[in-house]
C-alpha cells in the first residue's frame, strides 16, 4: 500500500513518523512544496530574540533522516490537484517545472495555512511574514545585509506579539501598527488592558487605529498621511487554509475553505484523511464545529490517522478545546474553549476570581486572574481565560484536564492542589472559582 502525504511540516511529518512506527511495511511519500520539512514553526520567533540561539535546532528531521526510516520526501514538490475518485494526485516539481501523476491507497492532507497579506505590502522588498524557516532565514539575512535596526510590526495576534517581544529582545527599535485598539482578540479586552502599557514600557512606538497604505523605499505612509521610517516590515495578520488545490477533488470543504473532518480524521472522500491548520474539527466539550490553528491538535490527529490507516479504528480524535498560551514580556496569557463571540450562543454565567499566585504573605507573590464562563444548564466550563505573570501555565493545563475528564465549574472546589507557600494557597485560585460557583 502507498500513502501520500501533502505537506511535510507539523502535521505531515508527524503523521509520516507515526505511520512508520505503527506500520513498518506501508510505502510513504511526502510532498512538500517548500524547501524544508519538520521544523518547529513555534520556535521561529525565539530565534529572532536569541532564546533559540542555534537555528539548526529548530529542524527536527530532514529528507535524509526520513529516508533512513524509509520515508520518501520530495521537497519543492507541490500537489496541485487531487482526484479522490481515481485515487491519484497531480504533482508539480517546482524547481524543474515538471508535472506528473501518482496513485495512492491513502492520502493524508496537512497543507496548513497561507499567511494573509496586505495590498500595500505586495512587491515591497523589505516586507516579510514569519511562517516558515525560509521566512526566518530571509529576515535574518536581510537584517545582516542591510544592517537593519528598526522594524515595523503589523498584526496583534500571538505571532505579531511574540515577534514584538523578540525584536525588542534583539535590541531593535520596534514600531507597532494596528488598525484598531483591540490587541490580541482571543483575550477579553478588560483582561488584556496591559498590552499597550507593556509595549510602551518596553520602548515600542505604538500606532493604533491606523494602517499602512503605501510604501516607497524605506518610507511607509499611514492612512492618516503620516510617514514613518520602515526599513523592515513584518506582518502577522493571520492565515487562510491552503486548500485551493482541493477544489473539484471530491473532498468536502466548508464555506471558509477548511477541510471537513470528524473523529477518525477521515474527510468526505474514501481513504483521504486531513489534519492541522487546514481542517474544520469540533470542540471537545460542546461538540460544535471549530477550527484551531495550533500544534497540539495536529500532533494528536497524526496519531489518530496513523492508527486508523493501520487498522486500529478504536483510536479516535476527541475534538479540541483550543487550549493556548502566550508569553508577552513578563505576562502569560492563556485561554481555552469557545471563542468570546461564540459564548453568547449558550445560556451561561461568568465567574471571575483574582488572587495571588502563591501564599499572599510570600515576598514576590503576584496576582493571577481566572475567568470562566459556565453553562447554566449543566455547570460545564465553556470558556476560560487566565492572565498573570506567574503560574498561568499550571492553571490553564489543570482546567484543560479537568474539562477533558468531565469536571464542572463547581467541581473545581474539589481539586486537591499541591500546596506549600511558594506554590499556591490552601484554597487556590481554581478552588475559589469552584466555591464562587456553588
| Out of 3, 4, 5, 9, the residue judged to bind ligand FAD by CB under 6 A | 9
Q: If you write DSSP's letter for every residue of 176-205 in order, what string do you get? A: EEESSS---TTS-GGGGTTHHHHHHHTT-E
Q: Which of residues 156-185 bind ligand FAD (CB under 6 A)?
A: 159
Q: Is 276 in the site for ligand FAD (CB under 6 A)?
A: yes
Per-residue x/- track, 290-309, ligand FAD (CB under 6 A): ---xxxx-x-----------
Q: Give the three-class secondary structure for 364.
A: coil
Q: Which three cell numbers stand for residue 423?
A: 506554590
| Out of 4, 19, 44, 174, the residue judged to bind ligand FAD by CB under 6 A | 44
Q: Is 277 in the site for ligand FAD (CB under 6 A)?
A: yes
The per-residue b/e assignment along 388-422, b for 16 or more CB within 10 angstroms, e otherwise, is: bebbbebbbebbbebbeeebbbbbbbeeebeeeee
| Out of 3, 4, 5, 11, the residue judged to bind ligand FAD by CB under 6 A | 11
Pairwise CA distance, residues 414 & 17, whole Å: 40
How far apart are CB 290 and ligand FAD at their closest, in Å? 14
Contacts of 228 (CB under 8 A, 6+ apart): 152, 175, 207, 219, 220, 222
Please identify, using beta-carbon distances, which residue of 159 and 215 lies nearer to ligand FAD: 159
User: Of 46, 64, 9, 50, nearest to 31 (Cα)?
Assistant: 9
Pairwise CA distance, residues 12 & 276, whole Å: 8
Active-site positions? 42
> What φ, ψ does residue 244 adopt, rounded to 5°?
-55, -35
Please identify, using beta-carbon distances, which residue of 163 and 412 lies nearer to ligand FAD: 163
Q: Is 130 in the site for ligand FAD (CB under 6 A)?
A: yes
Please identify, using beta-carbon distances, which residue of 78 and 280 lies nearer to ligand FAD: 78
Q: Is 33 in the site for ligand FAD (CB under 6 A)?
A: yes
Q: Is 42 in the site for ligand FAD (CB under 6 A)?
A: yes
DSSP summary character for residue 357: S
H or E stretch covering 402: helix 392-404
Contact window for ligand FAD (CB under 6 A) among 124-132, 172-180, 182-190, 410-418: 124-132
Q: Which of residues 65-94 bind ligand FAD (CB under 6 A)?
A: 78-79
Please identify, using beta-carbon distances, which residue of 94 and 359 lies nearer to ligand FAD: 94
Pairwise CA distance, residues 365 & 390, whole Å: 9
Q: Is 242 in the site for ligand FAD (CB under 6 A)?
A: yes
How far apart are CB 294 and ligand FAD at their closest, in Å? 3
The C-alpha angle with vertex 129 and arms to 331 and 245, in degrees rounded to 5, equals 120
Pairwise CA distance, residues 241 & 259, whole Å: 9
Q: Under the rule (CB under 6 A), what is the footprint of ligand FAD?
A: 6-7, 9-12, 31-34, 41-42, 44-45, 78-79, 110-112, 130-132, 159, 242, 245, 276-278, 293-296, 298
Amino acid at each position: 500500500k502507498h500513502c501520500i502525504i501533502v505537506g511535510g511540516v507539523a502535521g505531515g511529518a508527524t503523521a509520516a513518523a507515526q505511520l512508520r512506527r505503527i506500520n513498518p511495511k506501508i510505502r510513504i511519500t511526502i510532498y512538500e512544496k517548500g524547501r524544508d520539512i519538520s521544523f518547529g514553526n513555534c520556535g521561529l520567533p525565539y530565534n529572532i530574540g536569541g532564546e533559540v540561539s542555534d537555528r539548526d535546532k529548530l529542524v527536527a528531521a530532514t529528507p535524509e533522516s526520513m529516508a533512513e526510516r524509509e520515508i520518501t520526501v520530495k521537497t519543492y514538490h507541490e500537489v496541485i490537484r487531487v482526484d479522490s475518485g481515481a485515487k491519484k494526485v497531480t504533482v508539480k516539481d517546482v524547481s524543474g517545472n515538471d508535472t506528473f501523476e501518482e496513485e495512492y491507497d491513502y492520502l493524508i492532507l496537512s497543507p496548513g495555512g497561507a499567511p494573509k497579506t496586505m495590498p500595500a505590502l505586495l512587491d515591497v522588498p523589505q516586507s516579510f511574514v514569519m511562517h516558515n524557516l525560509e521566512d526566518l532565514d530571509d529576515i535574518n539575512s536581510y537584517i545582516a545585509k542591510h544592517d537593519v535596526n528598526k522594524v515595523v510590526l503589523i498584526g496583534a495576534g500571538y505571532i505579531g506579539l511574540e515577534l514584538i517581544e523578540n525584536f525588542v529582545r534583539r535590541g531593535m527599535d520596534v514600531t507597532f501598527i494596528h488598525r484598531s485598539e483591540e490587541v490580541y482578540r482571543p483575550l477579553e479586552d478588560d483582561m488584556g488592558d496591559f498590552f499597550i502599557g507593556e509595549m510602551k514600557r518596553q520602548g515600542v512606538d505604538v500606532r493604533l487605529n491606523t494602517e499602512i497604505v503605501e510604501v516607497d523605499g524605506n518610507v511607509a505612509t499611514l492612512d492618516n498621511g503620516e510617514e514613518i521610517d520602515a526599513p523592515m516590515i513584518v506582518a502577522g495578520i493571520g492565515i487562510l487554509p491552503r486548500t485551493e488545490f482541493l477544489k473539484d477533488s471530491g473532498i468536502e470543504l466548508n464555506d471558509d475553505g477548511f477541510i471537513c473532518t470528524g473523529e477518525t480524521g477521515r474527510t468526505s472522500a474514501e481513504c483521504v484523511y486531513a489534519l492541522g491548520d487546514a481542517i474544520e474539527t469540533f470542540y471537545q466539550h460542546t461538540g460544535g464545529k471549530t477550527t484551531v490553528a495550533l500544534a497540539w491538535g495536529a500532533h494528536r490527529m497524526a496519531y489518530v490517522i496513523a492508527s486508523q490507516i493501520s487498522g486500529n479504528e478504536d483510536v479516535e480524535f476527541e475534538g479540541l478545546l483550543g487550549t493556548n498560551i502566550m508569553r508577552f514580556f513578563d505576562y502569560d496569557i492563556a485561554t481555552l474553549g469557545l471563542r468570546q463571540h461564540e459564548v453568547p450562543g449558550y445560556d451561561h454565567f461568568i465567574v471571575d476570581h483574582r488572587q495571588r499566585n502563591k501564599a499572599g504573605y510570600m515576598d514576590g507573590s503576584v496576582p493571577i486572574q481566572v475567568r470562566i464562563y459556565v453553562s447554566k444548564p449543566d455547570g460545564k466550563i465553556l470558556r476560560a481565560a487566565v492572565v498573570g505573570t506567574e503560574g498561568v501555565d499550571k492553571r490553564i493545563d489543570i482546567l484543560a484536564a479537568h474539562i477533558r475528564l468531565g469536571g464542572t465549574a463547581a467541581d473545581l472546589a474539589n481539586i486537591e492542589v499541591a500546596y506549600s507557600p511558594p506554590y499556591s494557597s490552601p484554597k487556590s485560585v481554581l478552588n475559589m472559582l469552584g466555591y464562587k460557583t456553588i
